[in-house]
Structure 1
Amino acid sequence: MAAGYKAVEPLEYYRKFLKQNCRPDGRDLSEFRTTTINVGSITTADGSALVKLGNCTVICGIKAEFANPPSDAPNKGYIVPNVDLTPLCSSRFRPGPPGEEAQVASQFVADVIENSQIIQREDLCIASGKLVWVLYCDLVCLDYDGNLLDACICALVAALRNVQLPSVKISEETGLAQVQLASKSPLNILKQPVSTSFAVFEDTYIIVDPTEEEESLATGLLTVVTEEDGKLCTIRKPGGSSLSAEKLQECISRAFSRHKEVQALLNEVLLSVKTQ
């Protein structure tokens, strides 16, 4: 009976739960799904991480390559993110060029990298005007179940903290790069942004970490990206129902609390990897 009612009136079905300050999966409105982080799972990458938010699963692999610096910034390297949503992660995606959602997610990640200054691009310079590092950050969704942006940012930060780059010198005689694989060092991570997403139901109910089904029923979506120094990095609200100043502040406060939770989890995971 409940399954039939949900199929016919899915929004009304959800409202009955929201009125009780809970959701059909048993979570309360401000509760995240179980979050797990694994780092270093791709041995062929220079840094990698796999993040799961409930069923939503994203893996990030980072590959470092040599490149010529931009002409207007001879001492800066590049960070190039790309989000891939394949048919394997959900039947809603099709083979071929990146769809709109993948492009929007890639641009979102790029904006967070730029706004938060996760790392200084100057730190990717090998020889000013001659050679820099370019970090290709490939984020692949393995299982799509809502809240893609939070999973992507978490996987990106975890993978960047896992990166080990070899020492490189330019030979004075040949002018070629000499790579010393035996001498590797981590990136200098300056900021660790955390993304916290919300689904809005007619400005009455706001839930965190929405599933794919909840996103499809919501009348608005909101993503707040915070930094560890108590600053806001990005607020993204792609249309939908309006949000009062009071409700927005509640979301921002929850985002800062979430930042502490994710950072503590990430630090714990990275510490356990070092001690292995």
Structure 2
Amino acid sequence: MPRPTQTPAINKAFALDALANHQIRLDGRKPLDQRPWSINFYAQPEDDDEAGESAGDSGTASAGLGKVDVRLGKTRVIANISASIVKPREDRPYEGLIYITSEMSGMTNQSYIEGRTTEDEVLTTRLIEKAIRKSEAVDRESLCILAGEKVWAIRITLHYLSDDGNLLDCACMAAMAALRHFKKEEVEVRGDEITVVSTSSAMSDDYLARIEFSSCSLRFGNLQHKASERAPMQLAIHHTPLCVTFAYLDDNNLILDPSHYESSIATGCLTLTLNAQRELCVLSKAGGTPLAKDELMRVVRLAVERVRDMTKALEDALKADEKIRIIEVR
């Protein structure tokens, strides 16, 4: 459990008075202002062996894909995507697998204890699973290689580095940015023969052990194709769900993107997961101040506008990275 923290009554009274009488929060924001986003993708490493050749043939074309560093103010989350070939579930032989794991250390916030899972971490992971898996953001059928035999397993690993409030929104943005940025190796199936078109110049023994199976024969792409001939493929993503969190400091004061301190004095929190198409994917409200129907619809309308801005920020970051990253040579 996190260390119990006590908020001095005078500090809470000051924050509520500033918000009620002056419409300003302790960090200088207006009630419905959101902290600035920073989305940075990991750089593509340079090829030192053959600097004169094109990056598409260098074997580093897909390096750095699916790794992103997202910051919402001082809240910071790093997301990393990895993929492996596994056997599908027996009840869903045509669908790939998606796993979501998180790592939170004692350095994330002083209220967390190293090695102990907190309720906030469990709730954050569950809501991200609902936002990504339950809303079918990723087409899992497109991850199927050979029905009933082999499918792609996509693992999303979230590293929580700093929690200055609203960790859920930052983690969801990081997960979706990494999924949109990630590219998997192309797989070619001819009968019972599978060719993995790898963009890696060397495949480790551990990776070889993971993708071998007895019912089919495997040949590796480095013996057949170059990375410039078969570029890695993007995941089939239906939509981009993003989380927007509101907090009520009392029955009347609604704020967007609460800080860690504001969350500690809030009487209730409401998280909406939406996409740019105005589709409501998840609504989460665990206790707190009861909301009337009109108030709930007002919050939904506010969240739709914020999600559009967040989606634009993500699209701009992806386009900027696409201009400087070499994936293939045509």
What TM-score comes out, normalization by structure 2 length?
Answer: 0.77
Matched to 2:25, the amino acid is: R
Q: For residue 302 of structure 2, give the secondary structure of its aligned residue in structure 1.
A: helix
Identity across aligned pairs (percent)? 28
Matched to 1:149, the amino acid is: L
What residue is the counterpart of 1:24 in the other structure? 26
What residue is the counterpart of 2:243 in the other structure? 195
- In 2, the alpha carbon distance for the partners of 1:214 and 1:188 equals 38
Task: Name segments (4+ residues, structure 1) moved above 4 Å.
Answer: 41-46
What residue is the counterpart of 2:271 in the other structure? 223
Q: 1:246 offset after TM fit, Å? A: 2.2
Match of 1:51 among 61, 67, 70: 70
2:299 maps to 1:270: no
Distance 1:42 1:159, change over 3 A: farther
Query: Any stretches of 5+ residues in structure 1 without a counterpart?
Result: 1-5
2:79 maps to 1:60: yes
Is the CA contact 1:194–1:226 (under 8 Å) kept in the aligned structure 2? yes
Query: Any stretches of 5+ residues in structure 2 without a counterpart?
Result: 1-6, 46-62, 194-213, 325-330
Write the mapping of 1:2-17 to structure 2, written as runs, cut at 5 A: 7-17=8-18
- In 2, the alpha carbon distance for the partners of 1:124 and 1:90 equals 37
What residue is the counterpart of 2:199 in the other structure? none
Matched to 1:66, the amino acid is: I
Q: For residue 239 of structure 2, give the secondary structure of its aligned residue in structure 1.
A: coil
Is the CA contact 2:67–2:79 (under 8 Å) kept in the aligned structure 1? yes
Q: For residue 221 of structure 2, give the secondary structure of its aligned residue in structure 1.
A: strand
Bigger strand share = 1
Match of 2:304 among 240, 256, 270: 256
What residue is the counterpart of 1:180 in the other structure? 221
What residue is the counterpart of 2:290 in the other structure? 242
Q: For residue 286 of structure 2, give the secondary structure of its aligned residue in structure 1.
A: coil
What TM-score comes out, normalization by structure 1 length?
Answer: 0.92
Write the mapping of 1:53-202 to structure 2, written as runs, cut at 5 A: 53-169=72-188, 172=192, 175-180=216-221, 182=227, 183=230, 184-202=232-250
Matched residue count: 271
- In 1, the alpha carbon distance for the partners of 2:172 and 2:68 equals 11
Matched to 2:300, the amino acid is: I
Question: RMSD between aligned alpha carbons?
Answer: 1.9
- In 2, the alpha carbon distance for the partners of 1:255 and 1:32 equals 11
Is the CA contact 1:46–1:64 (under 8 Å) kept in the aligned structure 2? no
Distance 1:24 1:161, change over 3 A: same
Distance 1:212 1:177, change over 3 A: farther
Q: For residue 156 of structure 1, give the secondary structure of its aligned residue in structure 2.
A: helix
Matched to 1:200, the amino acid is: Y
Q: For residue 111 of structure 2, give the secondary structure of its aligned residue in structure 1.
A: coil
What residue is the counterpart of 2:253 in the other structure? 205
